[in-house]
Amino acid sequence: MKPPFAIAVKFDLLKVGHCQHPECIALRGGGRRAVDFPALVGLIEHPTRGLMLYDTGYSPRFRAVTRGFPECLYRLVTPVTLPPEEELLNQLEERAIAPSDIETIFISHFHADHVAGLRDFPNASFIATRSEREFCKKLGRLGRLRRAYLPDLLPPDFDSRVSDAASQPTLELPEECYPFTKGWDLMGDASMVGIDLPGHTASQLGLAFRALEDGPIFLIGDACWKIEGLAQNRPPSRLAYPLFHSASAYDETFASLRTLHCSPDAPNLIPSHCSTTWSRRGGSRQIFRD
Ligand SMILES: [Zn+2]
């Protein structure tokens, strides 16, 4: 077995719609002005396992499944902007990627802003944590809504296409990932490593790998909303905590990510909704257009 991250992958970040919330929700002590929460999606090409996504962001289907009551409340609380040029299928088409070309989708968690496009990828296998999936299945209609979980976004054959990240072999992470010491070998070649990030939801799936152009990357989903929150030790507002699965687990995960972020050799941490990360990267690097 190669050491973790010996195989590098092609990687780009895409913005697939956004919503807005007051800054203070994402960053304790922040202002009340509304700021953008982009829905960021990882587009990955593994040298032998093909094209992969980390989440899907929003899709026009989100509007369709939030038409009825009480689901429309979700859309009223979180108005979504998704111009056609940001729709995931359109962005893939621009890169000459057909929906059927996507072979694997890593699902950080089942909130609608991460899974709204899953039905668009007929050939994709899904990788998620079983505990997260089981938890969502048990929720009633209002519980699902409170947890931003809309089961109609999942394809009908979802259960036969998903595998459990936590059932994959465990591997030791290199020192640069401290305090994270263990991960799941999601592809069997130590290239794509799943890391459990509990708290925001029951068990969120983070994804660490080495990108050809960027070096080590760690996609951290909603374990933190603004990257400056880690540098400045400013977690989200207490007002956001009732939405979380476990406040104590969230704080513990946040503290570990902060330790990692502040270490000199840390991978590049990418939260799913961080506009700072998006603008620092200068948007999509267009590396799949070659
Ligand atoms: Zn989210």
The residue ranking higher by pLDDT, 11 or 131, is 11
Secondary structure class of 198 (helix, strand, coil): coil
Express each pLDDT in 137-151 by its tens digit. Answer: 777 666 666 666 778
Show Cβ contacts of residue 81 under 8 Å, excluding neighbours closer than 6 positions: 17, 18, 19
Q: Cα(198) to centroid of ligand 1, in Å?
A: 14
Mean pLDDT estimate for the chain: 90
pLDDT at site 2: 65
**Structure confidence by residue, pLDDT tens digits, 201-243:** 888 999 999 999 999 999 999 999 999 999 999 999 888 888 8
For residue 245, report the distance from its CA to the centre of ligand 1, in Å: 13
CA distance 119 to 99: 10
* CA 222 / ligand 1 centre spacing (Å): 5
Q: What percent of the chain has pLDDT over 70?
A: 91
- The Å distance, Cα 290 to ligand 1 centre, comes to 30
- Report whether 42 contacts 53 (CB < 8 A): yes
Quick: pLDDT tens for 35-86. Answer: 899 999 999 999 999 999 999 999 998 877 776 665 556 666 678 899 999 9
Phi, psi at 48, each rounded to 5°:
-120, -15
For the segment 2-20, the average pLDDT, to the nearest whole number, is 91
pLDDT at 248: 95
- Terminal alpha carbon distance of the chain: 31
Q: Identify the CA nearest to 117 among candidates 45, 218, 187, 41.
A: 41
What is the mean pLDDT of the segment spanning 109-133?
91
Torsion, Cα 77 83 87 90, to 10 degrees, reads: 170
Mean pLDDT over 247-254 rounds to: 96
Gap from CA of 263 to ligand 1 centroid (Å) = 26
Segment among 100-104, 170-174, 283-287 with least mean pLDDT: 283-287
Average pLDDT over residues 249-256: 96
